[in-house]
Amino acid sequence: MVSPVNSSGSTKERILGAAEVLFAQRGFDGASLRQLTAAAGVNLAAVNYHFGSKDKLVEEVFRRRLDALNASRLSALAKVAGHPDTTLEAVLAAYIRPALDLSHDGNGSLFMRVLARAFAEHDDTLRQFLSANYGHVMRQFTAEFARLLPQLSKQELYWRIDLVTGALTHAMSGFGMIQRKSDVSEHAHREQTAQHLIRFAVAGLSHP
């Protein structure tokens, strides 16, 4: 009934890995600590010993991926933001490409599904955690969008960013709908996907 034992890495890492998979598959409530620890090949009590509680484990699952993702996004943004000849494409690439790279290695793609769940669940605790720890990233991108799209009112801009965010979250979590053909390399497919998302976002943000 439950996935096989994972026997590589430390206990904490095995729990985090199994949690990412099961949270993506069954949700935060739906995945029990017993399923989770069985999949990770560790004792049930290990979660509370190493993380304190299930809620703290959820936070750690987010922290591990989001720290890397947002650092990568901000680093990419810093290279293009503020320059007089920066394009909308370049800023969107700084936002989208790190997420696609995350999908590439390990179970990172499952994490985007976990993230989509967090969006759908209007759980206040989780939203506050995300907003407090990673809100500044979206704020920096929003500021750059505002600079590149001066003709839009604040309200207009927020509307469009919200819609673009929804589209990207949906697309990256619902993965698998657009299958990679066998005659296309993974790298080429990722490049194709990035182009799709970026062009769509440019059109959605900058239409008259």
Applying CB under 7 A, which residues contact DNA?
10-11, 31-35, 42-50, 53-55
Stretch in the footprint of its own copies (CB under 8 A) among 13-21, 81-89, 96-104, 166-174: 166-174
CB closer to its own copies out of 42 and 164: 164
Distant-in-sequence, close-in-space partners of 110: CB < 8 Å, separation ≥ 6: 20, 21, 24
Distance of CA 39 to the CA centre of its chain: 23
CB contact at 8 A, 6 and 43? no
Minimum gap (Å) between residue 194 Cβ and DNA: 36
Rg (CA), the chain: 19
If the CB atoms of residues 23 and 81 are measured against its own copies, the closer one turns out to be 23
Q: Nearest approach, Cβ of 12 to its own copies (angstroms)?
A: 26
Smallest separation, CB 84 to its own copies (Å): 25
> Least distance to its own copies from the beta carbon of 79, Å?
26
Rounded (10°) CA dihedral 144, 147, 149, 151: 150
**Does the protein bind its own copies through residue 2 (CB under 8 A)?**
no
User: Looking at beta carbons only, is 8 or 155 nearer to its own copies?
Assistant: 155
Residue carrying the six token digits 């929003």 = 142
34 binds, among its own copies, DNA, none (CB under 5 to 8 A by kind): DNA
Binder of its own copies out of 30, 52, 106, 135 (CB under 8 A): 30
Structure tokens at 201: 């976002």
Q: Where are the alpha helices (DSSP H) in the chain?
A: 11-30, 33-40, 46-51, 54-80, 88-104, 108-120, 124-148, 154-173, 186-206
- Residues 71-130 interacting with its own copies (rule: CB under 8 A): 113, 116-117, 119-122
